[in-house]
Amino acid sequence: MSVRQIYLDNNSTTPVDPRVVDTMVPYFHEIPGNAASRTHPFGWKAEEAVDYGREQIANLIGVDSKEIIFTSGATESDNLALKGAFEMYSRKGDHIITLQTEHKAVLDSCKKIEKLGGKVTYLEVERNGIVDLNKLREAITDKTILISIMWANNETGVIQPMKEIGEICAEKGILFMSDATQAVGKIPVNPKEVGIHLMAFTSHKMYGPKGVGALFVNRKNPRVKVTSQMDGGGHERGMRSGTLNVPGIVGFGKAAELCGQDMVKDTQRLSALRDKLENNLMTNLEEVYINGSVDHRMPHVTNLSFKHVEGEGLMMTFNNIAVSSGSACTSASLEPSYVLMALGLGDDLAHSSIRFSLGRFNTEEDIDLAADSLLKGVNHMRDLSPIWEMYKEGIDLESVVWSEH
């Protein structure tokens, strides 16, 4: 009898919705055209499909379809927005502000910009994962050209005060960029309403295919341009060359349409399941902590620390549940999550964290089975742990001097 596999790692990638797959299939063989081929019906049909996908995606976030630039995913979109804006606006200034808890695609792009002579301020966040707006304001100089702050964090699900940040940017005449990868399709996201000028997101976090993403680039008040990072045939308004991934864009468009239709229903259902999981674990286990703000977070995500239980070890106690410890993009390393360390967690709690990210295809049964496995796993790990025993005996572990022999 095979063990039921439970997928609770939707922040790293989502399963593709079967309705999305059905929409994509014809574009692999029956309609094989290149959207840039203007001389025959195959190309025209491909171009039509791309235009329609662009509209579906633009509708989801309330922008003009001409403001959607297709890329290979959010990492490329982040690179294009940051490096492209840094180059384009270099006469105006060379300073960028971001957060220590951003995705590596943003942080590593900023590191590259520093090598190119730019200056980057990496702001700390508060214990709840949210930026202090006064510190943000204080960090701005007359050379600041762009502030890059993610809409929702990939590890904790914490949502930043986007409207207030947008107001600061507008007041100071600074571009506002956001990696909204974890938010688009899950909660209402409208960059124009909050004053965002550049916004990265991707298909595979919202039940679409991998390998296709987008960058929103504001066209009016102000008209924003970024220098292309990929040169070639001048595709995508000269901002991103390369033959478009037609089947991917068709799928991305359909995924966006379905998210628009199902968002309210999905949000209510998933937040109830997430709360059920949290309540079950926190009622039946001692020393379980939610990382990041409980009031300002995504409806489908919880990041929990189980005191004195090593996260990687806990995951080895079950092999039928997909979750992640730390960020999926850096989980090859056994370093504690840099996001959780930035929230001020000590090594012990950061090492004991597990991220649960629920999705459209999860059921109540999944949650019950996952909670059951976790309760057994945590109790098993603690039974084996001399540190937990010492903690239970009331020994102050901070004051213990560990022998090196």
pLDDT of residue 215: 98
Among the listed ranges 7-16, 180-189, 214-223, 387-396, which one has the minimum average pLDDT value? 387-396
Confidence bin at 330 (pLDDT 50/70/90): very low
348 SS3 class: helix
> Could you tell me whether strands 144-148 and 95-99 are parallel, antiparallel, or unpaired per DSSP bridges?
parallel
Question: Containing domain of residue 92, as a range?
Answer: 18-258
Among the listed ranges 83-87, 137-141, 238-242, 395-399, which one has the minimum average pLDDT value? 395-399
Would 64 be classed as within a structural domain?
Answer: yes
Residue 148: phi, psi to the nearest 5? -120, 110
CATH number of the domain at 131, please: 3.40.640.10
pLDDT per position as a tens digit, 88-112: 999 999 999 999 999 999 999 999 9
329: annotated active-site residue: yes
Q: Which residues pair with 288 in a beta bridge?
A: 306
| d(C-alpha 345, C-alpha 210), whole Å | 33
- The verdict on 252 and 292 lying in the same domain is no
Whether the Cβ atoms of residue 178 and residue 196 lie closer than 8 Å to each other = yes
Res 331 pLDDT > 80: no
- The verdict on 282 and 184 lying in the same domain is no
Would 300 be classed as within a structural domain?
Answer: yes
User: What letters, b where the CB count within 10 A reaches 16 and e where it falls short, cover 37-58?
Assistant: eeeeeebebbbebbebbbbbbb
| d(C-alpha 277, C-alpha 390), whole Å | 28
Whether the Cβ atoms of residue 180 and residue 153 lie closer than 8 Å to each other = no
Would you tell me how many other CB atoms lie within 10 Å of the CB of residue 260? 16
CA angle 358, 216, 139 (to 5 degrees): 90
- The verdict on 242 and 312 lying in the same domain is no
Percent of the chain clearing pLDDT 90 (strictly above): 82
Would 405 be classed as within a structural domain?
Answer: no
CA angle 346, 352, 355 (to 5 degrees): 110
Q: Amino acid identity, residue 237?
A: R
- The verdict on 215 and 271 lying in the same domain is no
Would 401 be classed as within a structural domain?
Answer: no
Confidence bin at 395 (pLDDT 50/70/90): confident
Would 103 be classed as within a structural domain?
Answer: yes
Smallest CA-to-CA distance from 247 within 10, 64, 81, 16 is with: 16
- The verdict on 44 and 69 lying in the same domain is yes
Res 397 pLDDT > 90: no
CA–chain centroid gap for 65, Å, is 23
Q: Which residues pair with 159 in a beta bridge?
A: 152
- The verdict on 121 and 221 lying in the same domain is yes
Whether the Cβ atoms of residue 42 and residue 234 lie closer than 8 Å to each other = no
Give the pTM: 0.94
Would 393 be classed as within a structural domain?
Answer: no
pLDDT of residue 399: 64
Q: Where does 354-395 have alpha helices with state H?
A: 364-383, 386-392
- The verdict on 248 and 346 lying in the same domain is no
Single out the catalytic residue among 110, 169, 259, 329.
Answer: 329
pLDDT per position as a tens digit, 178-194: 999 999 999 999 999 99
Whether the Cβ atoms of residue 52 and residue 244 lie closer than 8 Å to each other = no
Smallest CA-to-CA distance from 282 within 305, 313, 300 is with: 305
The two three-digit tokens of residue 232, written as one number: 């070639």
Would 403 be classed as within a structural domain?
Answer: no
Distances from the Cα of 83 to the Cαs of 28, 80, 124, in angstroms?
A: 33, 6, 22
pLDDT per position as a tens digit, 6-63: 999 999 999 999 999 999 999 999 999 999 999 999 999 999 999 999 999 999 999 9
Q: Which residues pair with 15 in a beta bridge?
A: none
Domain total in the chain: 2
Among the listed ranges 269-283, 368-382, 390-404, which one has the minimum average pLDDT value? 390-404
Q: What is the pLDDT of the chain when averaged over all its residues? A: 93
- The verdict on 25 and 92 lying in the same domain is yes
Tell me the average pLDDT across 77-94.
Answer: 96
CA angle 82, 295, 62 (to 5 degrees): 45
Among the listed ranges 47-56, 109-118, 314-323, which one has the minimum average pLDDT value? 314-323
Phi-psi region of 16 (alpha: psi -120 to 50; beta: other; left: phi over 0): beta
- The verdict on 222 and 306 lying in the same domain is no
- The verdict on 158 and 236 lying in the same domain is yes
pLDDT per position as a tens digit, 345-370: 888 788 899 999 999 999 999 999 99
**Structural domain ending residue among the three candidates 258, 280, 297:** 258
